[in-house]
Structure 1
């Protein structure tokens, strides 16, 4: 563990497929597609018994505080009291058929054969934005969803946002949109990971803002520049950033009421407050103000 620079929580976490039959969740038999995915606690990370509660809390904060659309989820307990995280598959339709879904590693043509064992980490979030522009006719809304997810995963340090953690899903109109968010978790509680899961960070051409050159960390100016580079309008970029600069009492309340141990709750809060301070830092000392549209 000490020698590993990167680790994917999802990569070490087993996923079991479940069916809901007669009000009972059962493991699926071979060849039968489940409606739910169950994640028991993994074994190869720090604080493995806190992973399920961490993911549940982070998903709740994303949805309840930042209004991010995500997969339905819950924390459940085995008979021995051990927690597990369960999520509902969003690719299943009510009529039993499935949505068409494609993750961004596949869309970028990156596999272990084309890009090596670390293919999931190759690229930048600007690359993800380019895929959205090339795939979705009305891409502006989806770019804002991407920007929101990038900000959220930075604010609640999630170094597990790989290419495979972004995907498209088809709609009833025959077009594609970003799927509901999934695998949102504060990985910093379990591994010593990087600020961004993708190797090249925000920008695809080694671009660095003057702010980053001066401070060596990503702050407001970097995310502002990223938003403009991927094609988000300035007024919208400022508004979205403004929403992530606020210290929401609801985020603290959810943490206080979570299933994390008390000392882990405090560490979770510490990481949140540290990143919040960073997002409120500007090299110029002045931040653009949100303007009402």
Structure 2
């Protein structure tokens, strides 16, 4: 059984379960056990697995299980229940490097985004099966306390990409400017959300989230308007698989002239993101405010990595990858 010395949500030192602040943010003030009453493999072997996965993801490819809180316990929701949480265990695919660390990676990366950079994220944490397996848990921000559900569309749907028209890898088709154009078209307060989106693109690059595709960004209805949804599915993918710098095939935008650094090394630097920010309509002062935050590794990031549930080898690897990205980001173009 894993030895818990830090809050399995906010990673605050000195807690052997969820801290009071985490209970407020993640569980609306209700005391909840971090221990599950079942093992993931037990649930996988039941006949309910396919139905449960399809209630979250129509494709059924990504393992996401709907959950609710009942009597201070986290459990899988039944077919007719409105789930308020999503559970994500380590994936089945044994070809993924260090796959059992993936829930821990996602939890850490989400906490860094929120605590270090102030990025709006889905509330999240870790819980643990009877045999000690870590499972990522995230609160559904599209379901309200009264059980009503907000309308939400990911950007694959917003920009009109689908498997029938664009093939199996449709969610990787296009560039980040496509999302920016859709934000400007669909969000009244587009300038605010454009800056949020811009920072999320920068964060994903620096923290090596190379799988940030169209379905990992979404619009959510608030009142009569749509806004950019809180960030979700953030993780350092380079810990597990070697990919490109960006999740979308077209990168930032094919309309932007690449820096000399980008041309020579194949990796973008700060000026490429400056040009992208200007391209999507942000003021230079706001672009600078965002980019300045990513020029050095914040001490808070190192602290959260140390307090995380990753093993020691993965902690070192995580920081090395981020420092390498920052070093490339700092390169000056001629």
1:222 aligns with 2:272: yes
In structure 2, C-alpha distance between the alignment counterparts of 1:214 and 1:159, rounded to whole Å = 20
1:68 aligns with 2:119: yes
In structure 1, C-alpha distance between the alignment counterparts of 2:313 and 2:74, rounded to whole Å = 33
Aligned residues: 274
* Maintained 8 Å contact 1:65/1:251: yes
Q: Which residue of 1 aligns with 2:301?
A: 251
Q: What are the ranges of 5 or more consecutive residues in structure 1 without an aligned counterpart? A: 1-9, 285-293
Q: Which residue of 2 aligns with 1:185?
A: 235
Q: Which residue of 2 aligns with 1:26?
A: 75
SS of 2:153's equivalent in the other structure is strand
SS of 2:67's equivalent in the other structure is strand
Displacement of 1:180 in angstroms is 0.6
SS of 2:142's equivalent in the other structure is coil
Displacement of 1:268 in angstroms is 0.3
1:237 aligns with 2:237: no
* Maintained 8 Å contact 1:211/1:222: no
Displacement of 1:23 in angstroms is 2.0
In structure 1, C-alpha distance between the alignment counterparts of 2:247 and 2:136, rounded to whole Å = 22
Displacement of 1:29 in angstroms is 1.6
* Maintained 8 Å contact 2:114/2:121: yes
In structure 1, C-alpha distance between the alignment counterparts of 2:253 and 2:178, rounded to whole Å = 8
Displacement of 1:31 in angstroms is 3.0
In structure 2, C-alpha distance between the alignment counterparts of 1:211 and 1:223, rounded to whole Å = 12
1:260 aligns with 2:303: no
SS of 2:135's equivalent in the other structure is strand
In structure 1, C-alpha distance between the alignment counterparts of 2:264 and 2:241, rounded to whole Å = 28
Q: What are the ranges of 5 or more consecutive residues in structure 2 without an aligned counterpart? A: 1-58
Query: Larger deviation: 37-46 or 112-121?
Result: 37-46
Query: Larger deviation: 199-208 or 76-85?
Result: 199-208
1:64-97: CA deviation from partner (whole Å, max 9, x where unpaired): 1001110010111111111110001000112221
Displacement of 1:206 in angstroms is 6.9
Displacement of 1:160 in angstroms is 1.4
SS of 1:244's equivalent in the other structure is coil
SS of 1:65's equivalent in the other structure is helix
In structure 1, C-alpha distance between the alignment counterparts of 2:196 and 2:188, rounded to whole Å = 15
* Maintained 8 Å contact 1:18/1:34: yes
* Maintained 8 Å contact 1:125/1:204: no
Distance of aligned partners of 1:227 and 1:189 in 2 relative to their CA distance in 1, 3 Å threshold: same
Q: Which residue of 2 aligns with 1:81?
A: 132
1:40-63: CA deviation from partner (whole Å, max 9, x where unpaired): 111321101110110111011101
In structure 2, C-alpha distance between the alignment counterparts of 1:188 and 1:210, rounded to whole Å = 24
In structure 2, C-alpha distance between the alignment counterparts of 1:260 and 1:112, rounded to whole Å = 35
In structure 2, C-alpha distance between the alignment counterparts of 1:152 and 1:225, rounded to whole Å = 16
Q: Which residue of 1 aligns with 2:191?
A: 140
* Maintained 8 Å contact 1:209/1:225: no
**Which one of the candidate residues 90, 102, 105 is aligned to 1:41?**
90
**Which one of the candidate residues 133, 146, 155 is aligned to 1:104?**
155
Query: TM-score, length-normalised on structure 1?
Result: 0.90
Distance of aligned partners of 1:116 and 1:206 in 2 relative to their CA distance in 1, 3 Å threshold: farther
* Maintained 8 Å contact 2:82/2:147: no
In structure 1, C-alpha distance between the alignment counterparts of 2:187 and 2:62, rounded to whole Å = 32
**Which one of the candidate residues 159, 167, 173 is aligned to 2:210?**
159
In structure 2, C-alpha distance between the alignment counterparts of 1:11 and 1:17, rounded to whole Å = 12
1:182-201: CA deviation from partner (whole Å, max 9, x where unpaired): 00000000111111010000
In structure 2, C-alpha distance between the alignment counterparts of 1:128 and 1:145, rounded to whole Å = 12
Displacement of 1:12 in angstroms is 5.6
Query: TM-score, length-normalised on structure 2?
Result: 0.79
SS of 1:184's equivalent in the other structure is coil
